[in-house]
Amino acid sequence: MILTVTLNTALDITYRVPALRPHSSHRVTEVTERPGGKGLNVARVLAALGHEVTVTGFAGGATGHTVRELLSRTAGVVDALLPVTGSTRRTIAVVDAATGDTTQLNEPGPAITPAEWSAFQAAYEQLLRSASAVALCGSLPPGVPVGAYAQLVRTARALAVPVLLDTGGEPLRRGVAARPDIVKPNADELAELTGSHEPLRATRDARRRGAHAVVASLGPDGLLAHTPDGHWRAAPPARARGNPTGAGDSAVAGLLSGLVEGLPWPARLSRAVALSTATVTAPTAGDFDRAVFEDLLGRVTVTPEVSAA
Q: Where in the sequence numbering do the catalytic residues fall?
A: 249
Give the list of residues 6+ apart from residue 307 with CB closer than 8 angstroms, or none. Answer: 200
Q: Closest Cα to residue 112, out of 150, 148, 77? A: 148
CA dist., res. 166 & res. 118, Å (int): 22
CA dist., res. 167 & res. 41, Å (int): 14
Q: Closest Cα to residue 179, out of 196, 202, 200, 158? A: 158
* 137 bridge partner residues: 6, 166
Q: Closest Cα to residue 237, out of 307, 306, 295, 282? A: 295
